[in-house]
Structure 1
Amino acid sequence: MPMNRFHQRFCRSSGWSRHVENSLLPWVLDGVDLGAHVLEVGPGYGVTTRLLQDRVPELTALEIDPALAARLREHTAASTATSASASGSVEVVEGDGTAMPFADEAFSGAVCFTMLHHVQSEPLQDKLFAEVDRVLRPGGVFAGSDSRVSAMFRLIHLYDTMVVVDPDTLTTRLEKAGFEDVEVSTSERALRFKARKPST
């Protein structure tokens, strides 16, 4: 289901970009080693993608929405061509996180930021977790975040898909998908997680 117009404006806003850069990304990636070839699932308007480009040598962004994938592809290409600070390469792929168009063990690490609640059901979220596990190399880390319910969160998602992730059950769900060393923590408005694919 497409986002409502208010939600679209919010995700493109400078305030959201500052929050992601100064708070969300550092919080989620604190102490996380993603390796050299990282998968980002569901980049949307690409705020996190542009920031990750400076952190990892090779980034693949998987986006299900054709228009957003095309927009992000144009923006990352322009950024790489004009900015000396864009140190990593970015490939934007249009595709579904529940049926990823990648080979097994293709990536050293994987991330998703504030997008899981846009997946239409809990079983589909679990399928996405299993797909991430499949495309990660042994020992690879999966890290991410999602929002917690509040009155503002509900307002932003009026007429949008909103399948909230319960932090109390997330550890078990990630373990069932094949991960180990799962850590889940929360703040007032968000949750973060990291998990590892077994090395053997």
Structure 2
Amino acid sequence: MGMNIFHQLCCRSSVWERVTATRIVPWALREVELGDKALEVGPGYGANVRTLRERTPELVGLEIDPKLAARLRTRHASELRVIDGDGTAMPLPDKEFSSVVCFTMLHHVPSPGAQDELFAEALRVLRPGGVFAGSDGLNSPAFRLMHLGDTCVPVPPATLADRLTRIGFTDIEIDTAPTMFRFRARRP
């Protein structure tokens, strides 16, 4: 799940943090309640930590990259409990979270099968009634260019509802914007 140097610089910039905090997360989570304990899968450089903490009293981040996990622990120790791990095999107990979120990271999961494993793990760690929500970029030539040399497996929003239904989610909503889509689903 690598990122090219351009992508790394972009994702750790204050400009990206501002865009994600003021546009992406508010749009993706409009009318979504995170509840008392949220899990962010793939927090990366931590661009969403402060915005998410405004919405939930307890935030846990699951990060696959050990360097990014260490950076998150240093920079956000008081706001976020960081767990090293893979979203496709979460080292977390069943039914622990009121919500699971992920933003602009699903395309870094290396195959549709692995993405489905991540969705199944999100369902497993959610409490009944818990919400799985987030956003990702839409496939386009510009999106592909930004990801040259990266792992880049875009999630087609047109097939996402069926994939989430097959895994066991209900109340699925998917909306698209010009460059991204948002999703929300519930564990019954």
Per the TM superposition, whether the score is higher than 0.5 is yes
1:20-69 deviation per Cα after TM superposition (whole angstroms, max 9, x unaligned): 11111110110001110001001111101232122210011000000000
1:106 counterpart (93, 96, 109): 96
Paired residue total: 188
Q: Secondary structure at the match of 1:33?
A: coil
2:143 counterpart (153, 160, 182): 153
Structure with bigger gyration radius: 1
Q: Secondary structure at the match of 2:62?
A: strand
Unaligned residue ranges in structure 2 (runs of 5+): none
Q: Following TM superposition, by how much is the alpha carbon of 1:152 offset from its aligned partner in structure 2, in angstroms?
A: 2.3
| 1:172 equivalenced with 2:162 (yes/no) | yes
| 1:116 equivalenced with 2:106 (yes/no) | yes
Q: Secondary structure at the match of 2:80?
A: strand
Q: Which residue of 1 aligns with 2:72?
A: 72
Q: Which amino acid aligns with 2:135?
A: S
Q: Secondary structure at the match of 1:165?
A: coil
Q: Which residue of 2 aligns with 1:15?
A: 15
Q: What's the % identity of the aligned pairs?
A: 58
Considering only aligned residues, what root-mean-square deviation do their CA atoms show, in Å?
Answer: 1.0
Q: Following TM superposition, by how much is the alpha carbon of 1:119 offset from its aligned partner in structure 2, in angstroms?
A: 0.2
Q: Following TM superposition, by how much is the alpha carbon of 1:165 offset from its aligned partner in structure 2, in angstroms?
A: 0.3
Whole-Å separation in 2 of the counterparts to 1:151 and 1:182: 28
Unaligned residue ranges in structure 1 (runs of 5+): 81-88
1:77-100 deviation per Cα after TM superposition (whole angstroms, max 9, x unaligned): 2xx3xxxxxxxx420000010000
Whole-Å separation in 1 of the counterparts to 2:134 and 2:174: 10
Whole-Å separation in 2 of the counterparts to 1:165 and 1:2: 17
Q: Which amino acid aligns with 1:106?
A: E
